[in-house]
Chains A and B, each alone.
Chain A
Amino acid sequence: MRFFEYESRAIVAKAGIPVGKHGFARTPARAREIAAEIAAPVVIKSQVLSGGRMKAGGVQFADTPDEAATHAERVLALEIGGHMPRGVLVDSRAAVQHEYYAGVVWDGIRKLPVLLFSDMGGIDIEEVAERHPEHVVSAHFSTLRPFADWQAKQLISSLGITGQALTRLTPIVARLARLFLQYDMTLAEINPLGELADGSFLALDAHMDVENEARPRQRALLAELGVGEQETRQAREPTAFELAGEEVDAQDHRGVAGNVTEFDGNLGLVIGAGGGSLTLFDAVRSCGGQPANYCEIGGNPSVAKACGLAKLVLTKPGVDKIAVMMSIVSNTRVDIVARGVIKACVELGYDPAEKIAIFRIPGAWEEEGFKILARYGVDYADRSVSLHEAARRAVERIGPQSAPVDGPQHDARERV
């Protein structure tokens, strides 16, 4: 779940990281008041969750409170990336000498947070990493042990930063790492982290994402920020494929075919069972596979629901085969899922033996399920085959992706 910039600023400030004078306004009149309180030139920033604000005209500079109100009126009416702004951030314009970057992001492969620091702030860290890799340093850290200042200091100093700058940057970066852990974040980023003429530092912009599953644990923070329980706050709008997944799930009350998320690979996934989905998704990737989607099936879906989901995945452009995999199931019937995915293949005119790279669901009614799979020549595996081995077999069967497929390119963290 993504926070608006004004909320991220509040989180940063709460953690003891210095921020410039700023305020959040929903009306031009309030923007004028805040600019008057700041009593200095300000910048008006649209509060939308999508990127590209600057290019779209969502960031404007004002020298007077009246000018701030005029810009705020325009920015408040400006749609950016399909989103109307929640309001505007009225921010003081600091005289910055140098811009740095500090961020923490969840590394799904290492399953650890990674702290990133750069002495080239103000631009995308991905761009810096690509063009000037010598200006970016990173280090993983434990989620179990408390984050210590020396860890931040060691990282910052590895860029050659010394003296007063190192002393002042260290607690800021350490606090950022700690707030990442404290609030179950998947992303916590200050960019730019500005160094002023007097050698002090200010967080000039911040972006934060909290893990969706952690929302119940973070109720106090969300309440403090005024985030409603119903606000999904995804980093992007659901794709047509994902909306179709929701429809499949809603058509039938039996079982679940949830969290359908689009990726751009060639191996469709019909996966699930108590954490099994994430494990299997990771297993496919670690075996070099390119998932076309993520999903979570379980709770004994009907044949129609399993069929609907499999059809959706099979008809996704670029999908060559599907892998149907779950950990050992007790409350989902193997034979019912087998019927559903085979029916999907047959009704679409495909040979199930060809289209289903592997079926690995052991558990309730597996004998009946295996009879069905054998009848259609589908390659299946029982519980003696691990999830990882099943994923490896699926990847081996599908082979490398022939060409990239047009479609959204995003990280699993964004919605999963």
Chain B
Amino acid sequence: MSAALFIDVEVDDSIAGDRELAAKLEEVCPVDIFRAGAHGLEIVSENLDECVLCRLCLDASPPGTIRIVKLYDDGAVLGAPR
């Protein structure tokens, strides 16, 4: 039972296969939401609700390629102007 209730992470197709970036994201996320898989970036869905909104993944990736969506806040996106 691990469907995320509070947080979703959207990844742009342009970085999905970037293994180097995937490794970087795996390193920076403090709650293990990213995994560097054989084919690039994977999202560990059972950890999504642990997201602490720290923005480290946003800082580590090209602007606009990762979106942290607050499902409890009408889909507000972390860092986006309201």
Q: How far is the CB of B25 from chain A (nearest CB, A)?
A: 19
Pick from A9-17, A28-36, A237-245, A368-376 the stretch touching chain B. Answer: A368-376
Question: In the docked arrangement, what's the CA distance between A353 and B6, Å?
Answer: 16
Option from A303, A304, A347, A371 in Cβ contact (under 8 Å) with B72: A371
Of A336, A343, A375, the residue contacting B73 (CB under 8 A) is A375
Kindly state whether residue A302 has any CB partner on chain B within 8 Å.
yes
Cα–Cα, bound, A304→B4 (Å): 12
Least CB distance from B3 to A in Å reads: 9
Q: Which of B6, B50, B52 contacts A372 (CB 8 A)?
A: B6
Give the complex CA separation of A333 and B53 in angstroms.
12
Chain B residue with Cβ nearest A376: B72
Verify A375–B72 contact, CB threshold 8 A: yes
A316 near B: Cβ within 8 Å? Answer: no
Question: Are B5 and A371 neighbours in the complex by a CB distance under 8 Å?
Answer: no
Taking CB atoms, residues of chain B closer than 8 Å to A368 are 53
The answer to the question of B1 belonging to the interface, with a C-beta cut-off of 8 Å to chain A, is: yes
A303-B49, A304-B50, A368-B53 given; A346·B72 CB < 8 A = no
Most buried by A among B6, B53, B73: B6
For chain B, the count of residues having a C-beta within 8 Å of the partner chain is 11
Which residues in chain A, 345-359, are within 8 Å of chain B measured between CB atoms? 346-347
B residues 1-25 near A (Cβ < 8 Å) are: 1, 5-6
Q: How far is B5's CA from A368's CA once the two chains are assembled, in angstroms?
A: 14
Interfacial residues, chain A to chain B (CB-CB below 8 A): 302-304, 333, 336, 339, 342-343, 346-347, 368, 371-372, 375-376
Contact A347 B1 (CB under 8 A): yes
Tell whether, in the assembled complex, residue B52 and residue A336 are in contact, meaning their CB atoms are under 8 Å apart: yes
Complexed CA–CA distance, A77 and B1 (Å): 48
Q: Enumerate chain A residues within 8 angstroms of B49, measured Cβ to Cβ.
A: 303, 339, 343
Shortest Cβ distance from A374 into B: residue = B72
Instruction: Give the top 9 A-B pairs by smallest Cβ distance, nearest first.
Output: A375-B72, A372-B72, A303-B49, A347-B1, A303-B50, A339-B6, A371-B73, A339-B49, A343-B5
Assess the A339–B5 pair: CB atoms within 8 A.
Answer: yes
Measured between alpha carbons, how far is A115 from B1 in the docked complex, in Å?
A: 54
| B interface: dominant SS | loop
**Can you name the residue of chain A whose Cβ is closest to the Cβ of B76?**
A371
- Please, how many angstroms separate the alpha-carbon atoms of A302 and B52 in the complex? 10
- Contact indicator B52/A333 (Cβ below 8 Å): yes
A343–B49 Cα distance when bound, in Å, is 9
Write the nearest CB–CB distance from B55 to chain A, whole angstroms. 14
In contact, A302 and B5 (Cβ under 8 angstroms): no
CB distance from B72 to the nearest CB of A (A): 4
Q: Is the CB of A342 within 8 A of B53?
A: no
Cβ of B5: which chain A residues have Cβ within 8 Å of it? 339, 342-343, 346
Contact with A along B57-82 (1 / 0, CB 8 A): 00000000000001011000000000
With a cutoff of 8 Å between Cβ atoms, the chain B residues found around residue A303 in the complex are 6, 49-50
Chain B residue at minimum C-beta to C-beta distance from A307: B49
Q: In the complex the two chains form, what is the Cα distance from A375 to B6 in whole Å?
A: 10
CB distance from B50 to the nearest CB of A (A): 5
- A sample of 8 cross-chain residue pairs with beta-carbon separation below 8 angstroms, ordered by A number, consists of A339-B6, A343-B5, A343-B6, A346-B5, A347-B1, A371-B72, A372-B6, A372-B72
Instruction: Tell which of A302, A371, A376 touches B50, judged by Cβ atoms closer than 8 Å.
Output: A302
Complex CA gap A343/B6 in Å reads 9
**Bound complex: CA of A236 vs CA of B15, how far in Å?**
57
Residues of B within 8 A of A375 (CB): 72-73
Question: How many angstroms between the C-alpha atoms of A372 and B53 in the bound complex?
Answer: 14
- The interface residues of chain A lying within 8 Å CB-to-CB of B72 are 371-372, 375-376
Chain B residues near A339 (CB, 8 Å)? 5-6, 49
* Distance A185 CA – B73 CA, assembled complex (angstroms): 51
Q: A333-B52, A347-B1, A371-B70 are in contact. List 12 more A-B contacts (CB 8 A).
A: A302-B31, A302-B50, A303-B6, A303-B50, A339-B5, A343-B5, A343-B6, A343-B49, A346-B5, A371-B73, A372-B72, A375-B72
Q: How far is the CA of A346 from the CA of B5 in the complex (A)?
A: 9
Q: How far is the CA of A344 from the CA of B49 in the complex (A)?
A: 12
- From B46, which residue of chain A is reached at the shortest CB distance? A304
CA–CA, A346 and B4, complex, Å: 11
CB distance from B79 to the nearest CB of A (A): 14
Name the residue of chain B whose CB is nearest to the CB of A375: B72
In whole Å, how far is B33's beta carbon from the nearest beta carbon of chain A?
12
- Nearest residue in A to B73 (C-beta to C-beta)? A371
Task: Give the residues in chain A near B53, CB-CB below 8 Å.
Answer: 368
Of the listed residues A302, A303, A333, the one surrounded by the most CB atoms of chain B closer than 10 A to its CB is A303
Shortest distance from the beta carbon of A161 to any chain B beta carbon, whole Å: 65
